[in-house]
Amino acid sequence: MWLNLQRWSGLALSTVVVVATLWLAITNQLILYIHPRYVVFTVIMAVLALGVAVLALVLPPAHDHEEPVTGWRKALSVSAMVLTVAIAAALIVVPPATLTSATAGQRELNSTSVGADAQTVDGASSQSAAAFVKFTVVDWASLLRQTSDTAFYGGKGADVVGFITADEDDPQNVFWVSRFIVTCCAVDAQPIGVPVYAPDWESSYELDGWVRVAGEFESNPSRDSSHPIALVPSKISKIEMPDEPYLF
């Protein structure tokens, strides 16, 4: 009996994981967990795993002799089955979700290079005014890492989209328009962002809410924030989360 329970619990967990993976891929939510370039590979592996699960279901076990179950083996089997049920229930019940400001707070914002395609000061200096409004959070975060010269940012309008993360130094008056850069999967996602000076922003906007912020970068008016440059908005709009919340 215990041998059969172990076999069926393993098959059940494998099937739930495979079906959940395929469902996430079909609904375009697999990109909440992995980089898009790995989606096809993951789907192929899931289909192969589903085929193996079906074969294991229809083929008889190689050995049908069951050894007497000792106390510790019985406890281990029960624990494994409980864990199987818990994992399967979590995969089915818990809805897919993006990383949030809580994760950003655990991984320092703009702590590393923000990508090979990010803007450089020399490259951005030759751009037209129209080009700057197309810069993403990645582009501006890269420039903020390179220079705090207010003269560089003069006359360069910004229009960025991201979710709200509170500034650690001045959370009442400054928030960050944040995104995650994913190179492989959500585990290695790196938060990046730009500070926005918006006194009493919590009266109008929510933490983790998605916003579009238009304005210009200026010397940060905040007395407490440690960041010398901040985006001073001319307009902040609440928006829905983009279909692809991460940047790749």
What is the residue-level pLDDT of the chain in tens, covering all 248 positions? 556 666 676 777 778 888 888 888 888 888 888 888 899 999 999 899 888 888 877 777 665 555 565 666 667 667 766 776 776 667 667 777 788 888 888 887 877 655 556 677 878 777 877 888 888 898 899 899 888 898 999 888 999 999 999 999 999 999 999 999 888 888 888 899 999 999 999 999 999 999 999 999 999 999 999 899 999 999 999 999 998 888 88
Q: Taking the domains of the chain in order of start, what are their residue ranges?
A: 1-93, 101-238
State the fold for domain 101-238. OB fold (Dihydrolipoamide Acetyltransferase, E2P) (2.40.50)
Query: What's the whole-model pTM score?
Result: 0.75
Q: How far is it, in rounded angstroms, from Cα 22 to Cα 11?
A: 16
- How many other CB atoms are there within 10 angstroms of residue 140's CB atom? 26
Element (H, E) at 81: helix 71-93
Q: What is the DSSP letter of 247?
A: B
CA nearest 81: which of 1, 189, 163?
A: 1
Residues making up the chain, counted from first to last: 248
d(C-alpha 137, C-alpha 195), whole Å: 10
User: Burial of 141 by CB count in 10 Å (0-12 exposed, 13-18 middle, 19+ buried)?
Assistant: buried
According to DSSP, the residues that pair with 193 across neighbouring strands are 178
